[in-house]
Structure 1
Amino acid sequence: MQQSSLRSPLLEDFRTNKTRRWELRDVMGYVVEFSGDQHGSRFIQQKLETASSDEKQKVFDEIVPANILQLIQDVFGNYVVQKLFEHGTQLQKTRLAGEMEGRVLALSKQMYGCRVVQKAIECILPDQQAAIVRELEPHIMECIHDPNGNHVIQKMMERVAPERLTFIHMFRGNVQPLASHVYGCRVLQRALEYLPEIMISPLIEELHACTVTLMRNQFGNYVMQFMIEHGKPHDKALVISKLRGQLVHMARDRFSSNVCEKALTYADADTRRQFINEIILSRPEALAVGTMMKDSFANYVLQRAVVVAEPDQRDTLISQIRSQLATLRRFSQGYNKNLVSIERLLQKYASK
């Protein structure tokens, strides 16, 4: 934010004069300064939404080309450039995108620049989208692993025609590392969400080869959850099948417990019944229920099982839980907040 000593008298007046009705014409000649100020930027953004063609052109001419790169990377200025992409003419959008050519990688990796690149992808013509793809293609993995650049790659998958995303072949052989990466897992999910089957089927094959590993991974578990919730029936069933006979064990893991909850929610009725039987038919009786109740992660899976179970299985679950609660109450050391939330859930079903 600018220090008051560095502000022009006009900007200082704008910030302090609350009675004057300000219009875009009042700040002409000072557009760049206003764009770099928190309050001035917000004012210009609002006015651009309803500005005349002539007003938009005057704002544009003050910014392009001399000040465009400065504002793209500015904490407040980037929003003004985004508004120009949204509300400018097609010619203005084309020129704005042209100013970024040769610098798309650097801008994509910059905190504010990446937002402008994403907005550009949303607003420009397909040929210019393709130009951005070509510029980033040699640096795709670098962008994916970048905290800002990964958002640009996700936006390309969302908005650019799949046939122009020629870099997808680079994912082959790298699916497990991508799925296990804090940003790579997000990019992979967008690929599964937006790209046609012919492009993602080799990636899905690689995912099936390491399903259990990814379920237990800090970031890979999100990809597995995505496949269970949004995947094609065959792929969903294949992922869920890896949990059969392992539900209680996997429920105790910090990350795969999330996948177990998702599987209970989205499995078909027969598979869900099998999973819940793994819990209630364990020997000795209620062993699995007791184990899950006391576990920091499995207790959430148990609660999900209660919610999604058919009435007969729910009754058995609740009976076993109540039996274990009675035992655990005698040992206050073993009583914790997990059990309190389970008790609340039982009260909910007792009132039905």
Structure 2
Amino acid sequence: MEKFERKLTQFFHRIVMTTQEVFMDSYISQSISNAYSSPPLYRPYVKPHDFVQKNLYSLIPGNLWEAATGEKVKIDQIITQNAISVLSANQEDPRRYVNMAKDRQNCRKLQDDLQFGTDKFRNIVLNSLIPYLGELYCDPSANFVVQKLLDYATREQKISFLNAFKKDPLEIANHPCGSRVMQKFIECADTDLVDELYVFLSSSILDLCQSLHGNRIVQQFIDILPNRVPEIIKCIMPYTISLVADNCGCRVVQHLFQPFDQNKLAPLISEVIKAAPQLTANQYGNYVIQNIIDDGNEEQVAELIKSYKGYYYSFSIHKFASNVIERCIRRANQAQREFIFADIIGVEENYNYDRIYSLITDKFGNYVIQRILEFGSDSRINAIYDVVDKNYDELQDVGYAKHVITKLKALGFE
């Protein structure tokens, strides 16, 4: 260290002797400005010896230092010296790290120091911030520092994080910044600590399901605590319909379909099927219905298909419901498809040609017609062809109808 400081002093004296004072002032001012994102309006002249004493030689460009001394400065030297300076200041002001974490620019520097610093340095920062976690969780800048700390925290330190959550878990889970910290904790902590957090939030699961940020917490509980899933289902069961039709709630219900056997979700699915027509036309509920069609058992799908009787045509030209009808056609067996097609365009020798024309020219209905061409009987395919052939000059100028015409040509119709 003494050799390093001696070379540093020689370097500054060489600059003073070979350049004008004006250039020296400009150089130092520029160096300090580059090191601090928000410099004060006034910077006093700093003597070379002051740089040595205050360990600020990391402000010197590496190429100039190498030219003057013939040695390269290593990144760990710079970080270590900066850390020493900050640690000394922190001993004078216990809230120094808190203030740095809350500052938009300094919080980024602190994150970098944590990433490239030593374990000893990280522990000092952790122990300095832990008493103030309650005010850091929901801070727009400090929450990123806290998330970074969780990557390096020990189990004992994570328990301190958990204790800070317990003071107001619902507010933190619903907060845009606090929710990120809680999600990070759930990712990093041991399962027993996550379960302890769940216990504190269990009475508010329904509120979290409908929260823009809290619903992500519930989804993580579903992934990490499978033994708690029956409790979650029991909690949301009386409110299934409102949750499925909710922007946030539908995400939680959908998430249940991914890792679990549908037989375990049978009570929940039964509640959804009871309100299937209502939910199918809902901008959020239709996604849950599609999950049931894709992953439900044969009995559940059959019950769902029957529940749409009388709705198939109107749903075929509906923005959200048309997707469900397409999936029903793909999942159904041949007898069920005949039931669906009859409800949409009628039965053989009594087809509703007006409906066929409307579906062909509709931006949603044309996809349902294409599914009829894909899975329907020859009689139904011929009925669709007759409508196209009769109105060909008109339909070839309609963008949506072109999809149907192309499909017919692929089947060999001219």
Corresponding position of 2:200 = 135
d(CA) in 2 for partners of 1:342 and 1:238?
32
- 1:337-348 superposed matches below 5 A: 339-343=398-402, 346-347=405-406
Task: Check if 1:62 corresponds to 2:128.
Answer: yes
**1:94 to 1:288, Cα distance in 2 relative to 1, 3 A:** same
Query: How far 1:112 sits from its partner (Å)?
Result: 1.0
Corresponding position of 1:328 = 394
Corresponding position of 1:4 = none
Residue pair 2:366, 2:400 contacting (<8 A) in 1 also: no
Give the counterpart letter for 2:82 in structure 1: D
Q: Decide which moves more: 112-121 or 156-165.
A: 156-165
Query: How far 1:266 sits from its partner (Å)?
Result: 3.9
d(CA) in 2 for partners of 1:44 and 1:233?
56
Residue pair 1:181, 1:219 contacting (<8 A) in 2 also: yes
Q: Work out which of the residue numbers 284, 289, 299 in structure 1 matches 2:366.
A: 299
- Structure 2 length normalisation: TM-score? 0.66
Task: Check if 1:319 corresponds to 2:385.
Answer: yes
d(CA) in 2 for partners of 1:349 and 1:55?
71
d(CA) in 1 for partners of 2:289 and 2:117?
47
- Structure 1 length normalisation: TM-score? 0.76
Query: How far 1:58 sits from its partner (Å)?
Result: 2.6
d(CA) in 2 for partners of 1:297 and 1:215?
15
**1:163 to 1:303, Cα distance in 2 relative to 1, 3 A:** same
Query: How far 1:108 sits from its partner (Å)?
Result: 0.8
> 5+ unaligned residues in a row in structure 1: which ranges?
1-8
- Give a deviation string over 1:303-323, Cα, whole Å, max 9, x none: 5656x5489699658735743
- 1:112-127 superposed matches below 5 A: 112-127=177-192
Give the counterpart letter for 1:58 in structure 2: I
Residue pair 1:102, 1:135 contacting (<8 A) in 2 also: no
- Give a deviation string over 1:261-282, Cα, whole Å, max 9, x none: 3323444566457645765666
Query: How far 1:152 sits from its partner (Å)?
Result: 1.6
Query: How far 1:107 sits from its partner (Å)?
Result: 0.2
Instruction: State the structure with more CA Rg.
Output: 2
Give the counterpart letter for 1:202 in structure 2: P
d(CA) in 2 for partners of 1:319 and 1:24?
79
Give the counterpart letter for 1:63 in structure 2: L
Residue pair 1:261, 1:301 contacting (<8 A) in 2 also: yes
Task: Check if 1:187 corresponds to 2:264.
Answer: no
- 1:149-228 superposed matches below 5 A: 149-163=214-228, 166-195=231-260, 200-228=265-293
**1:163 to 1:111, Cα distance in 2 relative to 1, 3 A:** closer
Task: Check if 1:26 corresponds to 2:26.
Answer: no
- Give a deviation string over 1:27-63, Cα, whole Å, max 9, x none: 6456444544555545554665565432331331232
3-state SS, counterpart of residue 167 of structure 2: coil
Identity value in percent:
23
Task: Check if 1:288 corresponds to 2:355.
Answer: yes
Question: Higher RCO, 1 or 2 (CA under 8 Å, sep at least 6)?
Answer: 1
Residue pair 1:264, 1:304 contacting (<8 A) in 2 also: yes
- Number of residue pairs the alignment of both structures matches: 335
Corresponding position of 1:259 = 324
